[in-house]
Amino acid sequence: MKYDFDQIVDRSNTNALKRDGWREYIFGDPEGKKQFNFKDEEFIHMWVADMEFKCADEIIDAIHKRVDHGIFGYTTVYNDDYPNAFAKWCKDRYDFEFNKEELCYSPGIIPALYELVGDICAPDEKVLFQTPSYGFFKHASTYNGREMVFNKMKYNAGEWELDFDELEKQCADPKTPLLVWCNPHNPTGRIWTDDELKRVAEIVEKNDMYIISDEIHCDMRRAGTSHTPMGKIMKDYPKLVTSMSASKCFNMAGLQLSNILIRDPELRQKFKDGDKLVGFLNPLSITAMQAAYEEGGQWLQEMNDYVDANFAYIKEFFDKNLPEMEFKIPDSTYLAWVNFGAVLPAGTDVNEFFANEAGVLIEGGDALFVDNAEGFVRLNLAMPKSQIEIAMQRMYDAIEKAGGRK
Ligand SMILES: Cc1ncc(COP(=O)(O)O)c(C=O)c1O
């Protein structure tokens, strides 16, 4: 291994959401009034989806070089270097090509979603997405005052499936013009099969809907899996928007740059007109993302291998100690979606329970994953294995102590 993923990096005093923002984000308590049994420095942070790993040296070096230039004036993408790097990544990794004119930028996939939901849905129209769901699909809808329709996924013995019968009916409603589609899916980690993708595409096309395919997790996969962009399935469908970024899988969400491929020229113009940053981007972000696409391949491979080993470790732990949870390693993401509902008393507030009883910060349940998520917890495994070992033991002890095993 060229890179060291065992290193524990202290994130205190870096204004990191993960280290310092959890009281507000998880418990709605920005002033820190709520008391916990653990001190701040004792918590293990398995919540929000960023990593405890340092960025690739290649990215850090590229940023240093750009910093040394010394001028950070108004910036956007004028030459072809960045679009070419991203296009080559898509072609090499997923054999996916797009027209460069479709490529728009945003500080994040979420800000883009906030804009697009309002652009696509009239005030009396609804936004459809699968649940359990990444929380911001809901927040983007409520921000715009749009009603939501939940397509509840079906859970059976560790496997999550789409409910196509329900999806057919929900898409047939002319007041629901938009499907927000998570490919691969956060939080379940499902990589959809090509057959599933084709069925979704058929339903969307039949009903002439817009689809926003959020593919931010697509480079974080278990060995042997592959990613199919929705843009390959819906080859010429004009109402497809694809969101991708190197931010998530290279651990640079704070640099805030994402790629939004918008095929429909009218929607694209509306999106650009609605950009409150009037097109400007952070110069360091462009440099960093370009370095990731051009030079980050080996780091990504090693990081995926490291996370695969973390998944294998927790799989063994759960199978041995808590087999009732029927844990299955997900196809994608560095997030384990685990059914603690199987081993805790019904109605347990999982976020509070694990914070207080185990000193482990996690996200779980409907409060953070919108709907269809009760009893489930998302564990972030993009961290040194030594930390995961401590967290797993503490969580297990807390469950035993609570006498909660059914
Ligand atoms: C499915 C999904 N979309 C988007 C985001 C965040 O995107 P961004 O940081 O580009 O706004 C996340 C972060 O966890 C995510 O899981």
The residue whose CB lies within 8 Å of the most ligand 1 atoms, and thus the one to mutate among 48, 110, 243, 285, is 110
Separation of 324 CA from ligand 1 center, angstroms? Answer: 31
Query: Taking a C-beta distance cutoff of 8 angstroms, is the pair 275, 292 a contact?
Result: no
Residue 65 lies in a domain: no
SS3 377: strand
- Number of separate domains in the chain: 2
Question: What is the mean predicted confidence (pLDDT) over 311-336?
Answer: 97
Please tell me whether residues 289 and 304 are part of one structural domain.
no
Of the two residues 345 and 72, the one the predictor is more confident about is: 72
Please tell me whether residues 176 and 261 are part of one structural domain.
yes
Closest atom, ligand 1, to C-alpha of 245: 10
* 243 Cβ below 6 A of ligand 1: no
List of residues 6+ apart from 177 with CB closer than 8 A: 120, 121, 125, 209, 210
The residue whose CB lies within 8 Å of the most ligand 1 atoms, and thus the one to mutate among 106, 185, 186, 335, is 186
Query: Quick one: pLDDT band at residue 404, thresholds 50, 70, 90?
Result: low
Q: What single-letter amino acid sits at 172?
A: A
Which pTM does this prediction carry? 0.97
Give residue 1's pLDDT.
87
Residue 357 lies in a domain: yes
Please tell me whether residues 160 and 107 are part of one structural domain.
yes
Neighbours of 23 (CB within 10 A): 18
Please tell me whether residues 283 and 359 are part of one structural domain.
no
Q: Which two tokens stand for residue 319?
A: 């199978």
Closest atom, ligand 1, to C-alpha of 258: 10
* 379 Cβ below 6 A of ligand 1: no
Separation of 346 CA from ligand 1 center, angstroms? Answer: 30
Strand-pairing partners, residue 126, are 147
Domain region containing 386? 17-56+297-399
Q: Which of the listed residues 230, 262, 295 is the one where a domain comes to its end?
A: 295
The residue whose CB lies within 8 Å of the most ligand 1 atoms, and thus the one to mutate among 136, 218, 378, is 136
Give residue 353's pLDDT.
95
SS3 19: helix
Please tell me whether residues 198 and 115 are part of one structural domain.
yes
Residue 172 lies in a domain: yes
Q: How many Cα atoms occupy the beta-carbon half-sphere of 167 within 13 Å? A: 25
Residue 404 lies in a domain: no
pLDDT(27) > 60: yes
Question: Which CATH number belongs to the domain containing residue 92 in this structure?
Answer: 3.40.640.10
